[in-house]
């Protein structure tokens, strides 16, 4: 039964996903709160291997030490009972009104300092629970008005904060890796580091760039109408795909957080194929958690919540099954060859060839003939669709 | 007469802009060809200081050596007569059918080699004409189908090509700087290095990253609904704004190439303010060419073409004038202070402060009070709009 | 002092706009509640002439009769003291969880019946307060999944509900006009009647189409990247612009509800010009309320709320002032003539001309000459921008 | 072999689709011209039943009478030999420079008159070849600048032209039906009648509205990020789906014209289900031509052209096969019932029930219970995806 998830599939969910009470900008909550302990048990039953959280998801903002300890004890017990792990932890720097102009890049220095303390403290918890990755989503780092944010200074402050965080982890022996999660907008009119590309560029400027990667999210890139599989491929090429958020989205509109595969199905197929098999001509695969960062639709009750959690994993496994068949099909391999897809792995210059050699090698090339060649891309793509649909 | 452009304004135009014959996907050319010599003279009269071109704009594809020499002699003469310069040159790797699957990253290795030769030869011309910058727009480097392009291999080939180019320039003492121009799509379904961020990330992987920067274009970033002024601010922060393409666009649709300022006027104001004055809290200004990469509307004859060329420069100077008044207004400075915009330049940690000090400094902060503070952003923004509109 | 609003400007605000407590999908409220009585007084002071509300904005959902009476008495007193009017009322069919799958088109018939009762009761209040217009925003009439909503049946139910509403108003002598407010998405994945066009088409199928028009909102059309001024022009052409919602938006993303003019400034200029002066060649102007349906940014306290309310009116008056100068400028009239803008009002056929006459009149036309003509649109547009910027 | 198209499937193609020579805004043609006679034969072999064209596709613009007659004779012969029909004809009002500011709504009255004559003459040909439908795509009816087009006058002229056309068809006994094809932009910055909704609204104002319907195109609606299946459902509800253009698109960007199903696959599934089976609760099906208006990718040679033509039909038949299984599955019917999808066909009021009865029927409804109900939409949708993927 290949569509039954197992721990080896490394499926993980945020507490805030199945626990979302479905309050949206125009409506009240339609579901009651979910006990984190129940979430652990239920997700384990469904086949997940991990659970993740923002500090405030698990321990409500402002809890005293006693409540905190009680909550943590119960949560750890649930993990022990189920064998579930906490592969990633993240910090809420967006819900409380104090963060309304950002955390690390708020125009209010007191807030910036507070945000940094909040993350440092959460790292203690992350380490304690064995998390390997800390995700950094700067959802409020941005502006509605161009004059309201000094982007140059903001990037300085962002870097400052991330350098402190890295030092703290290293000094304490936490061994955490950090994954920046880009998003173009919402809740801010424009968010800093809006795409996978901007985040990848940014992290090169840090003191310890090797500790930083990205956590791209399907819907976030698609809100800018970018090709998500392409963005992930570039992240892998940089060696920076440290974590991934899977969900569904229908192009540039509000952040929908649908079930994975319930948005752009063809691109989801390409993504799973890439994560599982690497690029056709070789290249790294992704072996971290398959993390679902979605929201069960507001129309659903808890039966629907668990059905939607299961649907995420089912979609991934379905796409994986089809991608395996696609890769294994000799007709596909022939078509990839004919289309030149596999040839692209071959360097443009021969080994040892210089640009002088290249410049001299002008005679053999017939530009018009090269322009007349058919690449057979539509046929190749139809083969992929046929495998996806098992036609 | 502050709205009369002078050479000090460093306005430049592509030959392909005023020379666009207005053929679009659904219609034939509405204008006859423009002689490059006439373009030089006319743009000089209007107040531009520079002209740029793709190799094939100046010397038609396939010209023999004699024609080439004649064209170049005439062009140089026009430059001499007018004092116009050629600050930038770029290479056409997209018009000929041979490039239909890309240049540096075509699935056809013969095409990749040809593309590289074409760029190297164009660099000889660029150097000869005194150009300082070579722009690299990889408009065909991409795909319509996810299975049709091995993105990992494509980025390897892209890097390989750019490393060769840099070596060639250095070995020949050309001293060129290279500016990658990102675009999300069109003419390909998805283009590699789709945004300023992706290009900034990519160039870190090159052999000589210091020679590479970006050439962001207003419309290209806005086709992904990104904030252009934010993208430019990040490029400046990285020290990588090597060139800029100014035009206008109305959000995610086909590439409109309107006159600068005729698209998102408020963002154009923020952009000019940034280029001219740097970030509010300090940071680099841009002192390179203000290059217009636009298309005179297809409804216009040559009278309209020159009117549109003049409109680009007028818009820039108008916005510059208003931005100067904005910066000089004491009410604005007061509002920037009140909104905390200027405070963001102050480091989050005091000099010498450690994270331990920071963690200890918890008592003074009242999160609820911080959440209740009004930032006054709307008022600040209205001041900006008032200055823009001279209200 | 032309930028000081007066009652003649017919500026109105929703209670839910200045009263928005700034809770968004990722954050808690940053402002306390606003007393409707204070809202009336404050808006009157600022120069507004009217206030509008959803039933639940004024009388909280579930209030008993006594509370309701008390609230209404206080509200009426405030209206009397200030001379403020209630030109429009609307019904909340979206906040309570019962409406999670829609109101008039919910898959649950009990909800449909409840929604209808809620609107009918609200009409009693609307009539009592002298409102002339009932706005119908079906924000939850839609779906996230194509299979989850029978659109054909949904449009039947929508029509059924609107026919009942119209009958109720007529039978009771309320004399209300009804304005459908389109929106493409958010909070639902897709909303029925997504654009001004879809709503205009729909209302033709009602029993009493003459009682129904539309209430287009700047941001809603721009979320589909449509030209708002064009949509409004079409609504005016149909005689169906019954009400209008003014605000600002930056293209296809979440519903931003910025201050009017703080989004696409050039299109806002065209809109005000159209509302105030009608089409250049003649056509109806809009003389209803200029209604601001915006949200004061979450970063603002109540000082900022009132500054933002004032900014809406200031922007409208600024744009009106510039549009008046634009229309009055003889150079503009000459440019409109030269561009053929004014000629378009002339019928294509002469009076009494038949298609046979037209077909016979073939000789005089030179298609190539017509294709060579320059329309001078860029110059005309630059004149408009110059007037907007008072250059 | 259910995926082998037959004449009963009513698949038709535009001559301009398989005949597109692949010239795009940035590149020259990559394919030679296609003889219409060959197109007829080849499409017939592949299983199509019909072919369509713009006047100038078949008879090049400016051909003399003799050439025209020769071309038509050859074309008719091919139709006779193959049994192919011409279900639809359309008129090119966009390629020649004369149309650069539009056809029916050009600011140049001479152009407007010429455009009308061109359509009338094309109707003679349409009737002669037995076409039942004339498609009207006003691709150039629009503007780049808001001040450059008097939209009110333009809609007057649009109506005037369409009224003349209808009269001409009726007087000559052609019996044509007219289908307006909406598009939001490209090649103009904004096009009039930008969506299915706007066109549906517009046609109500014509003299003979019953002769007019719409021809929605997948990609055109998706360029405004609208739900295509929803738009088609509304058109069917109005009884106005006179024709349909099938293709693929990836959201708001340039007009891609991909193969049907190669864009948003899930929405394509919903569309085929709707066209083939009507709404779940009953309602009209579509029985006209399944017309593919796509462009074979520029990377393909003629082998790829024909492969892409075949892929369109294969995709439709695959989706039809999966939709049939979906509808026939008892689990699906149960899920539709549970989700209330089928209940929506039941009127909100009982037969004979008045609004007074409705208002009195308040007691039984528990809003909170209604809000707590789970609709099971995610599970229902997953069933649809499972059928699509044959999981």
Instruction: Please tell me the distance from the alpha carbon of residue C335 to that of residue C333, in angstroms, as a whole number.
Output: 5
> Is the Cβ–Cβ distance between B348 and A160 less than 8 Å?
yes
Instruction: Please tell me the distance from the alpha carbon of residue D97 to that of residue B391, in angstroms, as a whole number.
Output: 42
Determine the 3-state secondary structure of A248 from DSSP.
Answer: strand
Computed over every residue of chain A, the mean pLDDT equals 97
* Beta pairing, strands D50-54 & D11-14: parallel
For A24, name the nearest residue in chain C, comparing CA atoms only: C25
Instruction: Please tell me the distance from the alpha carbon of residue C373 to that of residue B299, in angstroms, as a whole number.
Output: 8
> Is the Cβ–Cβ distance between C51 and C15 less than 8 Å?
yes
Q: Which two tokens stand for residue B330?
A: 């004491």
Q: What is the DSSP string of A154-211?
A: HHHHHHHHHHHHHHHHHHTT---EEEEE--SSSSSSEESS-SHHHHHHHHTTSSSGGG
Q: Answer whether D100 sits within 8 Å of B255, measured CB to CB.
A: no
Instruction: Please tell me the distance from the alpha carbon of residue C130 to that of residue C10, in angstroms, as a whole number.
Output: 15
Instruction: Please tell me the distance from the alpha carbon of residue D275 to that of residue C210, in angstroms, as a whole number.
Output: 32
Quick one: three-class SS letters along A199-228? HHHHHCCCCCHHHEEECCEHHHHHCCCCCH
Instruction: Please tell me the distance from the alpha carbon of residue B122 to that of residue B165, in angstroms, as a whole number.
Output: 11
Query: Backbone phi, then psi, for B179, in 5-degree steps?
Result: -125, 115
Q: Which chains share 3+ C-beta pairs under 8 angstroms with D? A: A, B, C
> Is the Cβ–Cβ distance between B297 and B365 less than 8 Å?
no
* Beta pairing, strands B11-14 & B50-54: parallel
Instruction: Please tell me the distance from the alpha carbon of residue A313 to that of residue C260, in angstroms, as a whole number.
Output: 44
Cβ contacts (< 8 Å) between B146 and chain A: which residues? 227, 229-230, 266-267, 269-270, 384
Instruction: Please tell me the distance from the alpha carbon of residue D263 to that of residue D257, in angstroms, as a whole number.
Output: 9
> Is the Cβ–Cβ distance between A275 and A331 less than 8 Å?
no
For A146, name the nearest residue in chain C, comparing CA atoms only: C262
Q: How far is A342 from chain D (nearest CA, A)?
A: 17
When pLDDT is averaged across residues D286-301 and rounded to a whole number, the result is 98
A187: preceding bond cis by omega (within 30 degrees) = yes
Q: Could you give the strand order of the β-sheet that contains B50-54, starting from the edge strand earlier in sequence?
A: B212-214, B177-181, B133-137, B88-90, B50-54, B11-14, B290-292, B245-246
Q: Which of C109, C144, C380 sits opposite D343 (nearest CB)?
A: C109
Per-residue pLDDT at A314 exceeds 90:
yes
Task: Check residue D188 and report its DSSP letter.
Answer: S
When pLDDT is averaged across residues D109-113 and rounded to a whole number, the result is 98
Instruction: Please tell me the distance from the alpha carbon of residue B213 to that of residue B133, in angstroms, as a whole number.
Output: 10
Q: How far apart are the first and last CA of chain B?
A: 20
Instruction: Please tell me the distance from the alpha carbon of residue D42 to that of residue A93, in angstroms, as a whole number.
Output: 62
Overall residue count recorded for chain C in this entry: 391
What are B's interface residues with C at a Cβ cutoff of 8 A?
A: 3, 30, 225, 250-253, 259, 261-266, 296-297, 299-304, 307-308, 311, 314-315, 318, 322, 371-379, 381-382, 385, 388-391
Smallest CA-to-CA distance from B247 within B186, B316, B293, B179 is with: B293
Of B54, B243, B291, B387, the active-site residue reads B54
Query: Backbone phi, then psi, for A334, in 5-degree steps?
Result: -65, -40
* Beta pairing, strands B88-90 & C245-246: unpaired
Q: Which two tokens stand for residue A209?
A: 């760039």
Q: Is the dihedral of CA D179, D288, D2, D266 positive or negative?
A: positive
Cβ contacts (< 8 Å) between B302 and chain C: which residues? 374
Q: How far is A185 from chain C (nearest CA, A)?
A: 8
Of D57, D245, D273, D293, the active-site residue reads D57
- Confidence band (pLDDT; 50, 70, 90) for A342? very high
For D50, the enclosing helix (H) or strand (E) is strand D50-54
Q: How far is C153 from chain A (nearest CA, A)?
A: 19
Cβ contacts (< 8 Å) between A97 and chain C: which residues? 27-30
Q: Answer whether D153 sits within 8 Å of C370, measured CB to CB.
A: no
Q: Which of D144, D223, D299 sits opposite B100 (nearest CB)?
A: D299
Q: Is the dihedral of CA B165, B170, B176, B180 positive or negative?
A: positive
Q: Residue C364: its pLDDT value, please? A: 82
> Is the Cβ–Cβ distance between B235 and B214 less than 8 Å?
yes
The interface predicted TM-score (ipTM) is 0.98
Of A9, A35, A55, A57, the active-site residue reads A57
Concerning whether C57 is annotated as a catalytic residue, the answer is yes
Q: Which of A28, A189, A297 sits opposite C250 (nearest CB)?
A: A189
Q: Other C-beta atoms within 10 Å of C69: how many?
A: 12
Q: Other C-beta atoms within 10 Å of D230: how many?
A: 28
Instruction: Please tell me the distance from the alpha carbon of residue D229 to that of residue C142, in angstroms, as a whole number.
Output: 13
Concerning whether D57 is annotated as a catalytic residue, the answer is yes
pLDDT per residue over B29-52, tens digit each?
999 999 999 999 999 999 999 999
Per-residue pLDDT at D107 exceeds 60:
yes
* Beta pairing, strands B133-137 & B88-90: parallel
Q: How far is B26 from chain D (nearest CA, A)?
A: 6
Instruction: Please tell me the distance from the alpha carbon of residue D383 to that of residue D337, in angstroms, as a whole number.
Output: 14
> Is the Cβ–Cβ distance between A118 and A91 less than 8 Å?
yes
Buried b (16+ CB within 10 A) or exposed e, C13-27: bbbbbbbbebebbbb
Contacts with A20 (C-beta within 8 Å, 6 or more apart), sequence order: A31, A295, A296
Q: Tokens 């993390």, residue?
A: A291
pLDDT per residue over B268-320, tens digit each?
999 999 999 999 999 999 999 999 999 999 999 999 999 999 999 999 999 99
Instruction: Please tell me the distance from the alpha carbon of residue A262 to that of residue A264, in angstroms, as a whole number.
Output: 7
Q: Which chains share 3+ C-beta pairs under 8 angstroms with B? A: A, C, D
Q: Is A4 exposed, middle or buried (0-12, 13-18, 19+ CB in 10 A)?
A: exposed
Q: Residue A364: its pLDDT value, please? A: 82
- Confidence band (pLDDT; 50, 70, 90) for D364? confident
Q: Answer whether B144 sits within 8 Å of D256, measured CB to CB.
A: yes
Instruction: Please tell me the distance from the alpha carbon of residue B17 to that of residue A206, in angstroms, as a whole number.
Output: 40
Instruction: Please tell me the distance from the alpha carbon of residue B243 to that of residue C308, in angstroms, as a whole number.
Output: 37
Of B56, B57, B257, B264, the active-site residue reads B57
CB contacts < 8 Å between B and D, how many? 109
Q: Which chains share 3+ C-beta pairs under 8 angstroms with C? A: A, B, D
Per-residue pLDDT at D363 exceeds 80:
no
Determine the 3-state secondary structure of D351 from DSSP.
Answer: coil
Cβ contacts (< 8 Å) between C303 and chain B: which residues? 374, 376
Q: Is the dihedral of CA D158, D162, D163, D164 positive or negative?
A: positive
For A253, name the nearest residue in chain D, comparing CA atoms only: D225
pLDDT per residue over C278-336, tens digit each?
999 999 999 999 999 999 999 999 999 999 999 999 999 999 999 999 999 999 999 99
Of A54, A220, A243, A291, the active-site residue reads A54
Contacts with B16 (C-beta within 8 Å, 6 or more apart), sequence order: B53, B54, B57
Q: Which of A99, A150, A342 sits opposite B341 (nearest CB)?
A: A150
CB contacts < 8 Å between A and C, how many? 109
CA distances from D233 to B267, C192, D139, D147, D251 (A): 39, 10, 24, 35, 20
Instruction: Please tell me the distance from the alpha carbon of residue D90 to that of residue A243, in angstroms, as a whole number.
Output: 52
Determine the 3-state secondary structure of A115 from DSSP.
Answer: helix
> Is the Cβ–Cβ distance between D87 and D12 less than 8 Å?
yes
- Can you list the residues of chain B whose pLDDT is less than 50? 1
pLDDT, tens digit only, all 391 positions of chain C: 478 999 999 999 999 999 999 999 999 999 999 999 999 999 999 999 999 999 999 999 989 999 999 999 999 999 999 999 999 999 999 999 999 999 999 999 999 999 999 999 999 999 999 999 999 999 999 999 999 999 999 999 999 999 999 999 999 999 999 999 999 999 999 999 999 999 999 999 999 999 999 999 999 999 999 999 999 999 999 999 999 999 999 999 999 999 999 999 999 999 999 999 999 999 999 999 999 999 999 999 999 999 999 999 999 999 999 999 999 999 999 999 999 999 999 999 999 999 999 999 877 899 999 999 999 999 999 999 999 999 9
> Is the Cβ–Cβ distance between A377 and B144 less than 8 Å?
yes
pLDDT per residue over A224-247, tens digit each?
999 999 999 999 999 999 999 999
When pLDDT is averaged across residues D216-233 and rounded to a whole number, the result is 98
Q: Residue D191: its pLDDT value, please? A: 98
- Beta strands of chain B (E only): which ranges? 11-14, 50-54, 88-90, 133-137, 142-143, 177-181, 190-191, 212-214, 245-246, 290-292
pLDDT per residue over A16-70, tens digit each?
999 999 999 999 999 999 999 999 999 999 999 999 999 999 999 989 999 999 9
Q: Answer whether C185 sits within 8 Å of A254, measured CB to CB.
A: yes
Cβ contacts (< 8 Å) between C391 and chain B: which residues? 3, 314, 318, 390
> Is the Cβ–Cβ distance between C19 and C54 less than 8 Å?
no
Q: Answer whether B201 sits within 8 Å of A114, measured CB to CB.
A: no
> Is the Cβ–Cβ distance between D273 and D329 less than 8 Å?
no
Q: Residue C192: its pLDDT value, please? A: 98
When pLDDT is averaged across residues D105-116 and rounded to a whole number, the result is 98
CB contacts < 8 Å between A and B, how many? 356
């Amino acid at each position: 039964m290949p569509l039954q998830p197992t721990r080896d599939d490394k499926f993980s969910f945020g507490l805030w996903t199945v626990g979302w009470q479905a309050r949206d900008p125009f409506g009240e909550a339609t579901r009651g709160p979910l006990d984190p302990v129940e979430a652990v048990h239920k997700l384990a039953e469904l086949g997940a291997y991990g659970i993740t959280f923002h500090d405030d998801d698990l321990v409500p903002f402002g809890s005293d030490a006693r409540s905190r300890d009680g909550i943590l004890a119960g949560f750890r017990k649930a993990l022990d009972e189920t064998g579930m792990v906490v592969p990633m932890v993240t910090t809420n720097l967006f819900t409380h009104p104090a963060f309304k102009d950002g955390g690390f890049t708020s125009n209010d220095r007191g807030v910036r300092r507070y945000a940094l303390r909040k993350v440092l403290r959460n790292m203690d918890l992350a380490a304690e629970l064995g998390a390997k990755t800390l995700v950094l989503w700067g959802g409020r780092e941005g502006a509605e008005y161009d004059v309201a944010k000094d982007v140059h200074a903001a990037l300085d402050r962002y870097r400052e904060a991330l350098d402190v965080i890295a030092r703290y982890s290293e000094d304490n022996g936490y061994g955490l890796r950090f994954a920046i999660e880009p998003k173009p907008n919402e809740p801010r009119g424009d968010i800093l580091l809006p795409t996978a590309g901007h985040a990848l560029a940014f992290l090169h400027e840090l003191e310890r760039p090797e500790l930083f990667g990205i956590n791209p999210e399907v819907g976030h890139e698609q809100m800018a109408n970018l090709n998500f599989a392409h963005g992930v491929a570039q992240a892998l090429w940089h060696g920076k795909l440290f974590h991934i958020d899977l969900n569904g989205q229908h192009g540039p509109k509000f952040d929908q957080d649908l079930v994975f595969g319930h948005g752009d199905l063809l691109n989801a197929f390409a993504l799973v194929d890439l994560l599982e098999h690497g690029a056709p001509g070789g290249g790294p695969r992704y072996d971290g958690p398959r993390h679902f960062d979605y929201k069960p639709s507001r129309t659903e009750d808890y039966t629907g919540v668990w059905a939607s959690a299961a649907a995420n994993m089912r979609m991934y496994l379905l796409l994986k099954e089809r991608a395996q068949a696609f890769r294994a099909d000799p007709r596909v391999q022939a078509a990839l060859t004919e289309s030149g897809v596999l040839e692209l792995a071959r360097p443009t210059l021969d080994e040892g060839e210089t640009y002088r050699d290249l410049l001299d090698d002008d005679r053999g090339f017939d530009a018009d003939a090269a322009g007349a060649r058919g690449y057979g891309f539509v046929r190749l793509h139809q083969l992929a669709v046929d495998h996806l649909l098992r036609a």
